[in-house]
Amino acid sequence: MTVRDLITAAAILDGIIESGQTLNPEELATGFLCLNDMVDEWNTDRLNIYSVGSKQYQLSNKGLYQIGPAAADFPDPSRPILIQTATVIVPGTGKRIPMGILDSVAFAGRSTSATDAYPDELYCDYAWPIANLSVTPVPTANPKIELYTWSALAQFATPDDVIVFPPGYRKSLRYNLGVQMASEFEVPLRPDIAAIAQESKGNMRSLNAQFIAAAFTAQQAGRNPEIGVPQPMPERPPQVIPQAA
């Protein structure tokens, strides 16, 4: 299925066009905008996203790093939507030590000049398009960090893009796009379309919740962080940092 097919199917649901008809260029462009707006909004809620990707980055003896497209330190096609967990990898051992993820208030109280072999806390300001990633204390052992970040649902570039999503997404996309387009085209929204949109999105989110439960501890999975919502910082006992062999 292409994006054009999806928009056409949603338009037929809403009665904007009849089965067998095609959208005119203006209708297609409006539906395309609705779809990308919807995907962009879905990216703000963890349960709409079907995967958490992990990447490793090499630290040096400084505390501030840029991450994102063409970033000076960690060039990446897209800067993280949200860092869910992070670990520091002890050189020469492969051991991973969990890092605390700070919000802006907690980070403001940390020293930016303190040094140690390995950092144990991290703060990201989520600036766009290049974010600033701070670690504390400033590392002296040049370790790597591993970030587990939300993998964004991709925006579509053209109406002829092929839609590739896991099972459960296609129906949810079609009916929820129907809801969005009904509002945009100012046509009455059928109650059954609204109900199916809600049910199919709920099924999609339930499946993603199972993936989260399988990948994280009960405590981690229960938090399901959302963008803009500060996360509680649990009390962490002092850690003994193993030294490289």
Residue 59 banded pLDDT, cuts 50, 70, 90? very high
- The predicted pLDDT at position 82 comes to 82
Residues paired with residue 150 on neighbouring β-strands, in sequence order: 52
- The predicted pLDDT at position 212 comes to 62
Looking up tokens 């999105």, which residue turns up?
Answer: 201
Asked if the peptide bond before residue 159 counts as cis, ω within 30 degrees of 0, the response is: no
3-state secondary structure the chain: CEHHHHHHHHHHHHCCCCCCCCCCHHHHHHHHHHHHHHHHHHCCEHHHCCCEEEEEEECCCCCEEEEECCCCCEECCCCCCCEEEEEEECCCCCCEEECEECCHHHHHCCCCCCEECCCCEEEECCCCCCEEEEEECEECCCCEEEEEEECCCCCCCCCCCECCCCCCHHHHHHHHHHHHHHHHCCCCCCHHHHHHHHHHHHHHHHHHHHHHHHHCCHHHHHHCCECCCCCCCCCCCCCCCCCCC
Q: 11 and 173 in contact (C-beta within 8 Å)?
A: no
Q: What pLDDT digit, counting tens, does each position of 188-245 carry?
A: 999 999 999 999 999 988 877 776 665 554 444 444 444 434 343 334 444 444 454 4
- The predicted pLDDT at position 32 comes to 97
- The predicted pLDDT at position 235 comes to 40
- The predicted pLDDT at position 211 comes to 63
Kindly tell me if the per-residue pLDDT of 65 is higher than 90. Answer: yes
What is the CATH code for 3-48+155-223? 1.10.3230.20
Q: What pLDDT digit, counting tens, does each position of 108-145 carry?
A: 888 888 999 999 999 999 888 899 999 999 999 989 99
The mean predicted confidence, pLDDT, of the chain is: 84
Looking up tokens 């260029």, which residue turns up?
Answer: 25
- The predicted pLDDT at position 221 comes to 42
Q: What is the pTM of this model?
A: 0.62
The domain locations on the chain are 3-48+155-223, 52-150
